[in-house]
Structure 1
Amino acid sequence: MTANGGSGLGGEGASGGSSHAAAFAGFAEALDLFHVGDVARMRALAELGRSALREARRDGVRGMASDMELRSVAAEAAGMARLTDRRLQGEIDHAMTVIDDYPAVFDAWVQRRIERGHVDVVVRVGAGVPAEVREPFAEAAIGVCERDVPSRVRGALEALAARLHPQTFTERHKAAAAERCVRVFHGTDGMSNLVANLPTVIATGMLDRLTQMGQSVKDARAESAGAAGGAVAADGEDAAGAGAAGADAAGAAPDGEGEPADTRTMDQLRADILGDLVLGGAPVVDPSYGTDRAGGLGAIRARVQVAVTTETLMGKDENPAEAVGAALIDADTARQLAGQVSEWDRLFLDPVTRTPVEIDTYRPTASMRKLLMARDQHCRFPGCRRAAIRCELDHTIDYALGGHTHVFNLAHLCQRHHSMKQFTRWEVRQVGGGVLEWTSPLGRVYREDVPIPAVCFTIDTGGPPERPPF
C-alpha cells in the first residue's frame, strides 16, 4: 500500500475536510518528531549493549561476565526510562540485532521507506533465517514492506524466508511437529492457561470448529427461550377468559418452562466446549470408543481455506501452501487435506498482472465468489487484515447507482470498513487489475495493491488459453 498527498491538508478540494487541516498538520509534525526520536532511541540502545560488551571483554572475560554486565547496564537504563530491566534488556538486544544484523533494513527505516513496525516484523521472521541468506532476505524484505502496512507483511515475509531457507519447509515442519505438546501455566484467582503447540492447520480448524459449536449452542438456547415464551403467551391468552384461577395458572407457567437465553460470550463458550470435549470425550482412534475413525487431519470438518499450487499438489515441489488468514502449512499437510475434498475450482491468472481472470457473468456465481476470495484474501481497506472468508462482497460502484456485478467492481470489505465506505466521506475506486485506490476525507490517496497471489496455475502449451475453460 502506498500513500500519496492528495489536494493537501489545507486545500479546498479535501472533500470538505479542511476544518481538520490544523489538527492533521500537528499530527504530521508529531510523526516526524516521533520518527527522529525512535531512531535515536534505537541507536542509543544498541550503543548501550556494545558498551556493556566492551567493558566485559576489556580483560578478555566473556560468557557469564558479559551477560552480567549487560544486565547491569539494562537495569541502570531501566531506572532512567522507568521500565523493567527485563524489558529494557530485550530492547537492547533487539536494537543490536537490527543495527548489526540488518543494516539495510535499519537504513530503509531511517530514510522512512518503511516503518518501525516493518523492522520488528522483519527481525522476528528473520530469526529463523540462516546467517548465510540473511542479506538477500533483508533486501527482498524491504521491497515487500514498501508495498504494504506492517500488519499485513508477515505472511509474505514468512513465505520469502521459507523460499530462501536451505532446508525445505516440509523438512522444518516435520522437525517442529515432533515437538508438539500441551502445557499448563498456572495463574491467579484459581485460573490457568492450557497451551497447545500444534500444526497450524489443526489449531486453526479447532478454533473454527469451537466457534461453530459455540454459535450452535447460543442459537439452540435462543430458540428454546423463544418457544417457551410463545407457550406462556398462549396460556396467558386462554387464562384471561377463565378468571383469577386462569391468571394464577398463567403466572406460574414460566417456572420450569424452557431455558433462559445463553448470555456467555463466544470466548467463554469456546473455553467451556473445549473442556466438555476433552473431559467428556475419548480419543478418535481408540478401541474402547466403539468404532475407530480418522483422527488428526482426517477429523477436520471446519472451514479451512488453503491456497496451494498445482506443482505442490502433484509433488513436483515442496513449497509451503497457505492457510488463508492464518499461516503457512507444509506441502504434505496440504496434499493430505486436498485428498479429502470432493471438488476443486480452477483459477486462471493473467500472465502479466498475475491476478485472476474475470468470470463473465452478470450475477456473482459461486465460482466468482471463490475467485474474488482467492484474489483479495482479506479486507481491501488499507491496513485491514480481516480474512476474506469473514468479509462481505461490496460493489465498489453501488449497484443502485449503475455499478455492474463484475470482478473489477467487486471487492471484499469487513463490516466495519463496508459501513465506513457507505456512511463517511471515504471514497474508493478500482483502477484495474484488482487494485483499489482509496481517498480520505482530506484528499490523501492510498493505493491498496492486490495481495501477492497465493494460487498460480501453469500450463505446458506455451501460453494461457484464449478463454478460461470453465
Structure 2
Amino acid sequence: MTSSGDRGLEGEGASGGSTHAEAFAGFAEALDLFHVGDVARMRALAELGRSALREARRDGVRGMASDMELRSVAAEAAGMARLTDRRLQGEIDHAMTVIDDYPAVFEAWVARRIERGHVDVVVRVGARVPDEVRSAYEEAAIAVCERDVPSRVRGALDALAARLHTQTFTERHKAAAAERCVRVFHGTDGMSNLVATLPTVIAAGMLDRLTQMGQSVKDARVATGPEGRADAAGAADAAEVAEPADTRTMDQLRADILGDLVLGGASVVDPTYGTNRDGGLGAIRARVQVAVTAETLMGRDENPAEAVGAGLVDAETVRQLAGQVSEWDRLFIDPVTRTPVEIDTYRPTASMKKLLMARDQHCRFPGCRRAAIRCELDHTIDYALGGHTHIFNLAHLCQRHHSMKQFTKWEVRQVGGGALEWTSPLGRIYREDVPMPAVCFTIDTADPPPDAAPGGPPPDEPPPF
C-alpha cells in the first residue's frame, strides 16, 4: 500500500478538506513526533544493552556476569519506564538485534520507507535465517515491506526466508515435525488451553473438519427449530422438546466437537440425526486447498507449496496429498506479475470466483486482512452504471469497506493487473497492489519440454487442488 502524501490537506478544494483538514494535519504531526520518539527509544535501549555488556566485560568477565549486569540495567530502566524488568530486557535485546544485526532495516525505518511493525516482523522471521544469508534476506525483506502494510507481509517474508535458507524446506520441516507435541496450559475459572503443535496440513484439516461439523449442527438447528425433531411417525419426541434450544456459537461448537472426537471417537450427540450415535457428522471429511508448482509436483525441486489460508507445506507432503485427489484446478500465473490470470474450467462463473479468490486473498481495502471467503465481490464500476462483470471490474471487499465505498466519499478505480487505487475524501491516494502469494512461480529459461504445446502456458504453472 502506498500513499501519495499530503495531497488534499491544504485548501478547501479537496473533498471534505474544510471539515477534516486541520484534524488530519494534527494527526500527521503526531505521527511524525511518535516516529522520532520511537527511533530515539530504540537507540537508547540498544545503548543500555551495550553499556551493560561493556561494564560486564571491563575486567574480562563474561557469561553469567554479563547476564546479571544486563538484568540490573533492565530493572533500573524498567523502574523509569514503569514496566516489568522482563519486558524491558526483552526490548533491550530486540533493539540491539535490530540495530546491530539488521542495520539496513533500521535505516529504512528511520527514513520512513517502512514502519515499526515491518521491523518487528522482519526480525521475527529472520531469526530462522542463517547468518551467511542474512544480508540478502534483509535487502529483499525491505523491498517486500515497502509494498504492503505490516500485517500483510508475514507470508511473503516466510516464503523469502524459506527460499534463502541453506537447507531445503523439506529438511527443515522434517526436523520441525519431530518436535510435534500436545501441551496443556492451565488457566483460571476451571479452564485450560490445549495446544497442539502439528504439521500445517494436519492442523488446517482439523480446523476445517471441525468447522464443517459445527456448521452441520447449526444447519440442523435451523431445520428442526426449537421444538425438536419429529420422528418417522410425525410425533415430536417429548424428551427433545423439553430440552432448551441449542444456542452455541461456532467456537463453542468446535470446542465441544473436538472433545467428543478425542474422548469418544465420534460426536456424542449428532443433531443432524437427533440421536446419540455417529450420524451425519461422522461422514464429514476435511478439505485443504494447496497451491503447488508443476515442478515441485513432479519432483524436480523441493520448494514448499502453500496451504491456502494457512501457510507453507513441504514438498513431500504435498506430493502425497496430490496422489489422493481426483479434482484439479489448473491456475495460470502471469510470468511478470506472478498473479493468477485464468483458470481453465468449463463453468465461467465458478472459474471467475475461484480466480478472484486466488488473486485477492483478502479484502482489497488498504490494510484490511479479512479473508476473501468472508467478503463480497464488488463491481468497482457499479453494474447499474454500466460496469461489466469481468475480473478487472471485480474485487473482494468486506461488508464494512463495501458499505463505505457505497455511502461515503471514498472512491476506487482499477488501474490494471488487479491493482486498485483508492482516493480518500481528502484526496490522499492509496494503491492496493495484488497480494503477493507465498508460493513464487517462475519460468524456466531452459528449452521447453518436447511435449509442450506451442503458444500455450509454461509447463511449470501451478495447479492448486
Q: TM-score, normalised by structure 2?
A: 0.86
Query: Which whole-Å CA distance do the structure 1 matches of 2:362 and 2:327 have between them?
Result: 23
Distance 1:258-1:392 versus aligned 2 partners, 3 A rule: farther
Distance 1:300-1:255 versus aligned 2 partners, 3 A rule: closer
Moved more, 401-410 or 24-33: 401-410
Query: Which whole-Å CA distance do the structure 2 matches of 1:444 and 1:466 have between them?
Result: 43
Aligned letter for 1:120? Answer: D
Query: Which whole-Å CA distance do the structure 2 matches of 1:397 and 1:85 have between them?
Result: 55
Alignment check: 8 A CA contact 2:329 2:343 kept: no
Query: Which whole-Å CA distance do the structure 2 matches of 1:198 and 1:182 have between them?
Result: 9
Aligned letter for 1:147? Answer: R
Matched, 1:210 2:216: no
Query: Which whole-Å CA distance do the structure 2 matches of 1:359 and 1:451 have between them?
Result: 18
Moved more, 331-340 or 73-82: 331-340
SS of residue in 2 equivalent to 1:432: coil
Distance 1:391-1:69 versus aligned 2 partners, 3 A rule: same
How far is 1:467 from its partner? Answer: 6.8
Distance 1:256-1:118 versus aligned 2 partners, 3 A rule: closer
Q: How does 1:247-326 map to 2 (within 5 A)?
A: 257=241, 259-281=243-265, 301-326=285-310
Query: Which whole-Å CA distance do the structure 2 matches of 1:200 and 1:229 have between them?
Result: 39
SS of residue in 2 equivalent to 1:366: helix
Q: How does 1:40-439 map to 2 (within 5 A)?
A: 40-226=40-226, 257=241, 259-281=243-265, 301-358=285-342, 365-439=349-423
How far is 1:381 from its partner? Answer: 1.4
For 1:236-261, what per-residue CA distance to the aligned partner results, in whole angstroms no more than 9, with x for missing partners? xxxxxxxxxxxxxxxxx999626443
SS of residue in 1 equivalent to 2:415: strand
How far is 1:359 from its partner? Answer: 7.1
Query: Which whole-Å CA distance do the structure 2 matches of 1:419 and 1:261 have between them?
Result: 34
For 1:59-105, what per-residue CA distance to the aligned partner results, in whole angstroms no more than 9, with x for missing partners? 11111111111111111111110001110000000000000000000
Moved more, 211-220 or 450-459: 450-459
How far is 1:57 from its partner? Answer: 0.8
For 1:419-462, what per-residue CA distance to the aligned partner results, in whole angstroms no more than 9, with x for missing partners? 22222222111001111111112211110111224464758279
Aligned letter for 2:95? Answer: A
Who wins on radius of gyration, i.e. which is larger?
1
SS of residue in 2 equivalent to 1:418: helix
Matched, 1:447 2:431: yes
Distance 1:343-1:465 versus aligned 2 partners, 3 A rule: farther
Aligned letter for 1:450? Answer: V
Would you tell me which structure has more helix in proportion to its own residues?
1
SS of residue in 1 equivalent to 2:422: strand
Query: Which whole-Å CA distance do the structure 1 matches of 2:453 and 2:157 have between them?
Result: 29
Structure 2 gaps of 5+ residues are 267-282, 459-465
The aligned counterpart of 1:250 is none
Query: Which whole-Å CA distance do the structure 2 matches of 1:406 and 1:390 have between them?
Result: 20
Moved more, 447-456 or 63-72: 447-456
Distance 1:188-1:280 versus aligned 2 partners, 3 A rule: same
Alignment check: 8 A CA contact 1:309 1:457 kept: no
The aligned counterpart of 2:463 is none
How far is 1:198 from its partner? Answer: 0.6
Query: Which whole-Å CA distance do the structure 2 matches of 1:364 and 1:403 have between them?
Result: 18
Aligned letter for 1:390? Answer: R
Moved more, 370-379 or 69-78: 370-379
Alignment check: 8 A CA contact 1:308 1:455 kept: no
Alignment check: 8 A CA contact 2:228 2:240 kept: no
How far is 1:35 from its partner? Answer: 0.1
Aligned letter for 2:329? Answer: D
Q: Tell me the number of residue pairs that the alignment of Structure 1 and Structure 2 aligns.
A: 435
Query: Which whole-Å CA distance do the structure 2 matches of 1:379 and 1:75 have between them?
Result: 44
Q: TM-score, normalised by structure 1?
A: 0.85
Aligned letter for 2:307? Answer: A
For 1:192-223, what per-residue CA distance to the aligned partner results, in whole angstroms no more than 9, with x for missing partners? 11110011121122122222222222232233
Aligned letter for 2:35? Answer: H
How far is 1:14 from its partner? Answer: 3.1
Query: Which whole-Å CA distance do the structure 1 matches of 2:300 and 2:342 have between them?
Result: 28
Query: Which whole-Å CA distance do the structure 1 matches of 2:94 and 2:83 have between them?
Result: 16
Moved more, 305-314 or 221-230: 221-230
Query: Which whole-Å CA distance do the structure 1 matches of 2:17 and 2:255 have between them?
Result: 46
Q: Calculate percent identity across the aligned residue pairs.
A: 85
Query: Which whole-Å CA distance do the structure 2 matches of 1:347 and 1:23 have between them?
Result: 47
State the superposition RMSD in angstroms.
3.0
The aligned counterpart of 1:16 is 16
Alignment check: 8 A CA contact 2:329 2:344 kept: no
Distance 1:272-1:300 versus aligned 2 partners, 3 A rule: closer
Query: Which whole-Å CA distance do the structure 2 matches of 1:173 and 1:9 have between them?
Result: 51
The aligned counterpart of 1:238 is none
Aligned letter for 1:429? Answer: R
Structure 1 gaps of 5+ residues are 236-252, 283-298
For 1:372-395, what per-residue CA distance to the aligned partner results, in whole angstroms no more than 9, with x for missing partners? 222222221111222323322221
Alignment check: 8 A CA contact 1:224 1:258 kept: no
How far is 1:3 from its partner? Answer: 1.0
Distance 1:230-1:280 versus aligned 2 partners, 3 A rule: closer
SS of residue in 2 equivalent to 1:8: coil
Distance 1:259-1:223 versus aligned 2 partners, 3 A rule: farther
Distance 1:106-1:159 versus aligned 2 partners, 3 A rule: same
Query: Which whole-Å CA distance do the structure 2 matches of 1:458 and 1:329 have between them?
Result: 21
Query: Which whole-Å CA distance do the structure 2 matches of 1:136 and 1:104 have between them?
Result: 11
Query: Which whole-Å CA distance do the structure 2 matches of 1:256 and 1:102 have between them?
Result: 64
How far is 1:319 from its partner? Answer: 0.6
Distance 1:178-1:300 versus aligned 2 partners, 3 A rule: farther
How far is 1:358 from its partner? Answer: 5.0
